[in-house]
Amino acid sequence: MSRADIEDLGYRLCVGVMLVNCDGKAFVGRRIDTKEGDWWQMPQGGVDDGEDLNGAALRELAEETGVQADRVSIIKAMTEPVRYDLPEELQGKLWGGKYRGQEQVWFLARFNGTDADIDLEAHDPPEFCDWRWVEPEQLPELIIPFKKRVYRTVLEAFSDLI
C-alpha cells in the first residue's frame, strides 16, 4: 500500500476497559499472539455494527477476561475518543487492511468480584495467556510502545476516580 492509500484509511471503532479492583490496581493481560516483547494490555476490542459503546465494553470485558457484567460497575467513560496509528509495517494489513489504526473510547470499571471470576478461556480463542493486577502508573511501561500515548491519556482521564 502506498502512503497515500494508508492516509485514506479510516480508524476502527474500539472500546477499552480499565478494570480496577478494590485496591486500586488495574487488570492487565499478556496477549497470546505477541511474538516479540513482554507486552501487557487492558481489555479492548472492536465495536460491532449497531452495538452501543457501553454494551461493547461489557462484551469485550467478558470475552477477554470472563468477568461478567454483574461483577463490574462502570464508573465513567472518556468523553473524547483516543486515536492511534498502527506502525507502518502493520498499516493496511491488520483488520482486513481496512484501517490505519483505532479510535478508542475507554471506560473505567470497578471490579466487584473475586479473582476466581477471571477466566481467560471464557472466549474461544482466548486473547490473553496470563493476567495480573498492577499499579495504574505502571500501565504505560507495560503496553506495546505504539500505544503508550493512549495509556497515558487514559490514566490522565481516570486518575482522580481510581
CA distance 100 to 132: 30
62 contacts 53 by C-beta, under 8 angstroms: no
pLDDT (tens, 9 = 90+) of the chain, 162 residues, equals 565 566 778 899 999 999 999 999 999 999 998 767 789 999 999 999 999 999 999 999 999 999 999 999 999 999 999 999 988 777 766 677 788 889 999 999 999 999 999 999 999 999 999 999 999 999 999 999 999 999 999 999 999 999
Number of domains within the chain: 1
The cell numbers describing 90, all together, are: 502493520
Q: What is the CATH number of the domain that holds 131?
A: 3.90.79.10
pTM higher than the cut 0.75: yes
The CA distance from 52 to 15, in Å, is 10
| Domain range for 67 | 3-158
d(CA 30, CA 8): 32
DSSP 86: P
Site of grid cell 500500500: 1
